[in-house]
């Protein structure tokens, strides 16, 4: 068995790609437009996975955009995406600087949660051991849900 991708639906493709590419830092590996089915699939990769993603079409996040408008509420029982990061504090600060809300700050030096514009929870996990607990992160409150 091999992991291929996680699919999430986007209500607004530009807004979703702004979040995942411009803010979170994923890279578009490839895109597929289906005229007859009236949808676009955009496959995104973490930078360190790009070579494997292009060669094996995995691991990827598939953004599905249906051209005809539709409401997607609550992530359709979707749990979350998870990404490992080299420095949880630096990653969270970069996201804050780009206007992203930390729903669960990395108080423990290991884990944080954010949400995409479509309400998809994204878990950020520190690579290796947790970083030492430090201010201002240790005292930050949760915001909303994740």
* Identity of the highest mean pLDDT range in 2-6, 75-79, 121-125: 121-125
Q: Which residues are catalytic?
A: 123
Q: Report yes or no: 118 and 11 within 8 Å, Cβ to Cβ.
A: yes
Task: Give per-residue pLDDT as tens, 67-86.
Answer: 997 776 655 446 578 899 99
Where helices occur in the chain by DSSP H, the ranges are 13-17, 50-56, 88-97
Quick one: pLDDT at residue 99?
97
Spell out the domains of the chain, with CATH numbers in brackets: 5-67 (3.10.180.10), 79-139 (3.10.180.10)
């Amino acid at each position: 068995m091999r992991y291929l991708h996680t699919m999430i639906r986007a209500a607004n493709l530009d807004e979703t790609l702004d979040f995942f590419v411009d803010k979170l830092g994923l890279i578009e590996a490839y895109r597929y437009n289906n005229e007859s089915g009236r949808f676009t699939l955009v496959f995104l990769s973490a930078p360190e996975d790009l070579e494997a993603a292009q060669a094996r079409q995995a691991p990827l996040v598939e953004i599905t955009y249906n051209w005809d408008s539709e409401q997607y509420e609550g992530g359709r029982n979707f749990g979350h995406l998870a990404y490992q990061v080299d420095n949880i504090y630096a990653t969270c600060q970069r996201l804050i600087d780009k206007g992203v809300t930390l729903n669960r700050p990395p108080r423990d030096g290991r884990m944080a949660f954010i949400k995409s514009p479509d309400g998809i929870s994204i878990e950020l996990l520190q690579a290796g051991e947790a970083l030492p607990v430090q201010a201002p992160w240790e005292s930050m409150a949760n915001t909303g849900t994740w």
